[in-house]
Structure 1
Amino acid sequence: MDATQNPLRRALFRFAETGAALSALYHRARLLGAEHLPEQGPVLLVGNHGLWGYETPAFFHLIHQATGRYPLGLAERGFFKIPLVRTVLPWLGGVEGTREKALASLRQGHLVVCYPGGAWETFKKPRHHYTLRWEGTLGFARLAAQARVPIVPFAGFGVDDTFLCPNDERWCVPLAPGEKYRVPLGIGLGPLPLPVKMTFVIGPALTPPPSDAPESRLKHFRDRIATTVRHLLVRACHA
């Protein structure tokens, strides 16, 4: 990641780095299985997303600590409809979640983080905490197959417990004007999130099918990744 483009971008990046480090400290965040992350070369990390995506800075901070690499994150395309956010997010490692931009990032040799559950997992209701809803997507499997890069599965526990959110739809607001996703409002420890412990577990890399694999094989690979993430969640819960 290039944080030296201009003074404003550099200052914002350093501020975000400090905030991520403080978040990791506040939540006693740990990263297990870092030996599965390569020191160089492209790789696609795939796992579960936490409430509001709040855990992402701490997770990225731990990855950088372990590998010296700054990960890029595939972000919900709706965020890039918000004027200020679409300018700042790329400065902090956010990549618009299109196949073209994801492929470009991998071909440039980056470590790319993908959350197949997308906004559904980010804005889920309490009854859906730590559940994956990947049945309708093959995007990440196709991406890995087309880019010919391994998928490294991961899971984060504690990431859905940082705020208390009601199930009532009336306590939700739209992500942006005209957007279908609604963000649940929540409370923490006063102005802070709840000081829950976060544990991230990374598993061994899995090789995707070839780029010309039929859809049935891609679905099998997707389901294999999802099953692996669920197993890693159990491990993270008990770590």
Structure 2
Amino acid sequence: MLGKLYHGYEICGMDNFPKGPAILVFFHGGMPVDNFFLTQVAYRMTGRTVRIVTDHLIFQIPGIQTYITLLGAVHPSREECVALLKEGHVVSIAPGGLREQNYGDKTYKLIWGKRHGFAHTAIEAKVPIIPYFTTNIQEGYRVCGNTGIMRWLYERIRFLVFPVLGPFPVKLRTHIGEPIPYDPNITPEELFEKAKAAVEALRDKHQKIPGSIPRALWERFEVHRKEG
């Protein structure tokens, strides 16, 4: 409800939402509220619960653990994540994580490094990967502390959330891409590159770069034909 009222939140491509176990991968914006919005809409439409993989350090912030747990957040090991998938769950993972949240900007460059863990997990569990991307997520929640000294500090303590401006009531629209099916002959590195390219393709198709807060606000009033 909050997403609909404040951001005019919509999902395009809901036909691609998995009917069985799968891993959702996405670009981690300045504040990944789209992940929670998608989870809530998916539950209302399909009755399925998405388990949101979250950095275990987030659970150490006082007052946060109970709230995000209610929203479906978990911090499993790879083995536990495989077990969730084999039980039939949908698991959501942002490979860029907190680094992408802190370092990302209005160019929407993916900062995934060599974080192949989700690809290893998908292969081991024999499940597809579903890419998605949310337009204007960086305009709704704009990171403003991406400076040299902040990056220096983050790289040493690895747990620092840069200051975020917002929320701005911009239009948020999630685009769910076509599944990348399980392939027993693919390597984790190859699957990683395919998933990254799929998210980038959704970004290039649906996001105007560089992002603009005024334009994203104006999109609240534009008529859009839903896809899928």
User: Are positions 1:33 and 2:13 aligned together?
Assistant: yes
Q: Distance in 1 between matches of 2:47 and 2:205?
A: 25
**Paired residue type of 1:149:** V
Equivalence map 1:2-21=2 (5 Å): 21=1
* Aligned position for 1:12: none
User: Are positions 1:224 and 2:203 aligned together?
Assistant: no
Any unmatched runs of 5+ in structure 1?
1-20
User: Are positions 1:144 and 2:122 aligned together?
Assistant: yes
Any unmatched runs of 5+ in structure 2?
209-223
* Aligned position for 1:9: none
Q: Is the 8 A contact 2:96 2:112 kept in 1?
A: yes
* Aligned position for 1:198: 172
* Aligned position for 2:219: none
Q: Distance in 1 between matches of 2:37 and 2:93?
A: 16
Percent identity, aligned pairs only? 28
* Aligned position for 2:218: none
* Aligned position for 2:113: 135
Instruction: Give 1:87 shift.
Output: 4.2
Instruction: Give 1:137 shift.
Output: 1.1
Pick closer, same or farther for the CA change 1:179–1:86 going to 2, 3 Å.
farther
TM-score, normalised on structure 1? 0.76
* Aligned position for 1:14: none
Q: Is the 8 A contact 1:76 1:97 kept in 2?
A: no
* Aligned position for 1:181: 159
User: Are positions 1:86 and 2:65 aligned together?
Assistant: yes
Which secondary structure state, in structure 1, belongs to the residue aligned with residue 138 of structure 2? Answer: coil
Query: Of the two structures, which has the highest relative contact order with CA contacts closer than 8 Å and spacing of 6 or more?
Result: 2
**Paired residue type of 2:52:** G
Pick closer, same or farther for the CA change 1:179–1:23 going to 2, 3 Å.
farther
Q: Is the 8 A contact 1:123 1:181 kept in 2?
A: no
Pick closer, same or farther for the CA change 1:138–1:57 going to 2, 3 Å.
same
TM-score, normalised on structure 2? 0.79
Q: Distance in 2 between matches of 1:179 and 1:88?
A: 25
Q: Distance in 2 between matches of 1:170 and 1:133?
A: 19
Count of matched residue positions in the alignment of Structure 1 and Structure 2: 206
Which secondary structure state, in structure 1, belongs to the residue aligned with residue 18 of structure 2? Answer: coil
Q: Distance in 2 between matches of 1:70 and 1:25?
A: 22
Q: Distance in 2 between matches of 1:33 and 1:22?
A: 21
Q: Is the 8 A contact 2:135 2:203 kept in 1?
A: yes
Q: Is the 8 A contact 2:34 2:174 kept in 1?
A: no
Pick closer, same or farther for the CA change 1:164–1:138 going to 2, 3 Å.
closer
* Aligned position for 1:3: none
Equivalence map 1:20-99=2 (5 Å): 21-39=1-19, 41-99=20-78
Q: Deviations over 1:169-217 (max 9, x none)?
A: 6679x89xx94232221333xxxx111111111111112343xx68xx3
* Aligned position for 1:236: 206
